[in-house]
Structures are given as structure tokens and as C-alpha cells.
Structure 1
Amino acid sequence: GISCPQPIADSGNEPCVRQCPDSMAVIQPPPVAVTFPGPILSSFPQDSVVGSSGAPVFGGFGGSLGFGGSSLGYGGLYGS
């Protein structure tokens, strides 16, 4: 979202991942995302990310709210 606003405006989540490195994009947004979607990420994005196995994570990461939840959940997956 923050690193690549063009892809999001295009409504293409996958392109956003291709334009910005998944590792870098995930490490940059976490703090900003946690600011507003804190409760949301705990609701559904985290579950979706963990059960998605990492593939759809990119799709959600491109979104606004989902992007926040995915950031935290994705970071955990990366740590694994």
C-alpha cells in the first residue's frame, strides 16, 4: 500500500507484490498498518493469512485494511 500506491489504484494486488519486493514491503508497512487496523488484524486477516499458507497474503496485503492484518500475520510467517 504505502510503498506502491500505483498498483493499488489499479486495483491489482498481485502487481503490487511484483513491483515491490515482498520482504521489503512487508518490513516497511508493519508499524503504519498496526496503527489503525490493530483490532481488525486480530479478527480475520491473521486467520486468513495463517490458513492461506502465504499465497493469498499478497492479495490482502495490497488492500488497505487487509494490508495491515496481512503485514503482522505475514511477518509471523516470515519469522517461521
Structure 2
Amino acid sequence: MMATVRLLYFASLREAAGRDDETVHSSAGDLAALYAETAARHGLQWPRERLRVAVDGAFACWDDALADGSEVAFIPPVSGG
């Protein structure tokens, strides 16, 4: 099944992807597979174990199913000053 989702990128992921967000069509079964597709497309170097993932504004689990129309955010660790 193909899902259309809006991806949001923050901090170093935004710099690596070269954009704040994008809309993608994916057949990924879960959020981990979606990140793998995205990392391959943009050359993202962060392992997903170091990231948080959120769906529609709430933190989610990597094995959660991908839902059509969702807004998915990949969030790297943020260092404060």
C-alpha cells in the first residue's frame, strides 16, 4: 500500500536533506523503513537509534505503521549551549 506523508527535518537533518520538509509517496511498512528510504535518498548519516520520530505532533515508535496523510518528523539529538 502506498502512503503519502509529509516529512519534517530538524537541525542537522535539515542541513543534510537541504530542506525543511517534503511530501513523499512511500510503500514503507513502518516508520523505520520510511527513515531508511529517506536516509538513502538524502544520504543521511544519523543511525535511527540516535533519533526520535514523531507523527502528527506526538512522539512515536519506529515500528509504528505508516499512515497515509501523516506528518512525520525525524528529530536528531540537539545540543544546548
Same fold (TM over 0.5): no
User: Larger C-alpha radius of gyration, 1 or 2?
Assistant: 2
Under a length normalisation based on structure 2, what TM-score does the superposition of the two structures give? Answer: 0.30
| Structure number with higher strand proportion | 2
TM-score, reference length from structure 1? 0.30
Which structure is higher in helix share? 1
